[in-house]
Amino acid sequence: MDKPKVVLGVSGGIAAYKACELLRRLTESGHEVRVVPTASALHFVGAATWSALSGNPVSTEVWDDVHEVPHVRIGQHADLVVVAPATADTLAKAAHGLADDLLTNTLLTARCPVVFAPAMHTEMWEHPATQENVATLRRRGALVIEPAVGRLTGVDTGKGRLPDPGEIFEVCRRVLARGVTEPDLRGRHVVVSAGGTREPLDPVRFLGNRSSGKQGYALARTAAARGARVTLIAANSTLPAPAGVDVVPVGTAVQLREAVLRAAPEADAVVMAAAVADFRPAAYAAGKIKKKDGQEPEPITLVRNPDILAEISADRARPGQVIVGFAAETDDVLANGRAKLKRKGCDLLVVNEVGELKTFGSEENEAVVLGTDGSETAVAHGPKEALAETVWDLVAERLS
């Protein structure tokens, strides 16, 4: 089988060096990559680097190898075009259809999915001109990844940083796998909770659970790659932030509830994949609980935590909002799942079997998604990403 053909456009931002890592990931995972830098990009990383790492010739202008008509051919043959970093200037040219170098010509001739990963100073990103250009590109079907917040060129910090190249690669991989040119969750805002809450007993101890956050992160990554604006409420997870996703870190069930209630009013869909503790210690000891000679420890009294899924399902923040719950069951999985779907009042319930060595922390999952309409969608054992795609397919059906 032919290798998928990827065009990596690189424009003239300080983050151009990070595109070398993206290029490596793409070539090492079996993609044929043609790098098309702008002339400005070559001030940051030279043509020799792009050519040697990609194994392909590199030009910035339409005047090289004219007999091969590269200004048309490169775009026409691409399965994916990703521009990383995308400068304010390149976004503006793309939005207005300018074609004064090889990259902008390629963007006009490509009929495959196009991904832009903008990177620039916060002022440039927030400027109405840039925001309108981004909106135009999104309206036309391009996937424009929200920049990350963090250190920029020099000492500045703010929104405008290029997301981690590994995470941009994950977006590219998912977009290529779907093979559709229009991101179907474009214009949608989704909230995903992930990880496991921790309920403190004293300053050093907590009651927790085995959730790693991998399923919730897979849901967030997949939704972003399908064009959604994603708020990821992450309980105690150390996983890398997915590209373009707004991560809200939380610790306890009560904090998670507050974050969900804050984000839900703007959300078209809420997917509650976090493992939220049902109970928390009734009392919190301000100092570390000590062993006392000859005495048995005090029993721990628990109180119930709020039931966030039932609460947001009963009192929808928006009409038509789709709410998805997860049920981790150890036995009688489907029967318990059906009862839980009724009790919680959500639209979809992802039922999976968990155990000490099952699902938690694993890269794989298998589940049945139950719908209030009586539907049952079985997802075979496979990567958590596959389950995430099915969940978003079912959510997208309900949103439309």
Ligand X SMILES: Cc1cc2nc3c(=O)[nH]c(=O)nc-3n(C[C@H](O)[C@H](O)[C@H](O)COP(=O)(O)O)c2cc1C
Q: Shortest approach of ligand X to residue 40 CB, angstroms?
A: 3
Q: What are phi and psi of 80, to 5 degrees?
A: -160, 140
If the CB atoms of residues 165 and 196 are measured against ligand X, the closer one turns out to be 165
If the CB atoms of residues 89 and 389 are measured against ligand X, the closer one turns out to be 89
Half-sphere exposure of 323 (CA within 13 A, CB side): 21
If the CB atoms of residues 117 and 235 are measured against ligand X, the closer one turns out to be 117
Q: Establish whether 360 is an annotated binding residue.
A: no
Contacts of 191 (CB under 8 A, 6+ apart): 230, 231, 233, 260, 263, 264, 267, 269, 270, 271
**Residue 283 DSSP one-character state:** -
Report whether the peptide linkage leading into residue 118 is cis, meaning its omega lies within 30 degrees of zero: no
Cα gap 33→12, rounded to integer Å: 19
Q: Shortest approach of ligand X to residue 227 CB, angstroms?
A: 22
Contacts of 382 (CB under 8 A, 6+ apart): 364, 365, 366
Taking each continuous run of H as one helix and of E as one strand, the counts in the chain are 14, 19
Q: What's the CA dihedral at 68, 69, 70, 71 to 10 degrees?
A: 180
- Establish whether 352 is a catalytic residue: no
If the CB atoms of residues 15 and 351 are measured against ligand X, the closer one turns out to be 15
Question: What separation in angstroms does the CA of 382 have from each of 40, 83, 211, 271?
Answer: 43, 30, 18, 20
Helix (H, G, I), strand (E, B) or coil at 210: coil
If the CB atoms of residues 10 and 260 are measured against ligand X, the closer one turns out to be 10
Q: Shortest approach of ligand X to residue 164 CB, angstroms?
A: 16
Q: Establish whether 290 is an annotated binding residue.
A: no
Q: Shortest approach of ligand X to residue 332 CB, angstroms?
A: 55
Q: Establish whether 344 is an annotated binding residue.
A: yes
Q: Establish whether 288 is an annotated binding residue.
A: yes
Q: Shortest approach of ligand X to residue 245 CB, angstroms?
A: 21
Each residue of 170-202: b (16+ CB within 10 Å) or e? bbbbbbbeeeebebbbbebbbbbbbbbbbbbbe
Q: Which residues bind ligand X (CB under 6 A)?
A: 11-15, 38, 40-41, 87-90, 119-120, 124, 153
Q: Establish whether 5 is an annotated binding residue.
A: no
Active-site entry in 56, 105, 133, 209: 209
- Closest to 165 in 3D by CA, of 256, 262, 84: 84
Q: At what angle do helices 18-28 and 165-178 cross, to 10 degrees?
A: 40
C-beta separation of 386 from 362 below 8 A: no
Q: Shortest approach of ligand X to residue 35 CB, angstroms?
A: 13
Amino acid at 328: A
Q: Establish whether 340 is an annotated binding residue.
A: yes
Q: Establish whether 169 is an annotated binding residue.
A: no
If the CB atoms of residues 107 and 192 are measured against ligand X, the closer one turns out to be 107
Active site (catalytic) residues: 209
Binding-site residues from annotation:
278, 288, 306-309, 326, 340, 344
Cite the annotated binding site for CTP by residue number: 278, 288, 306-309, 326, 340, 344
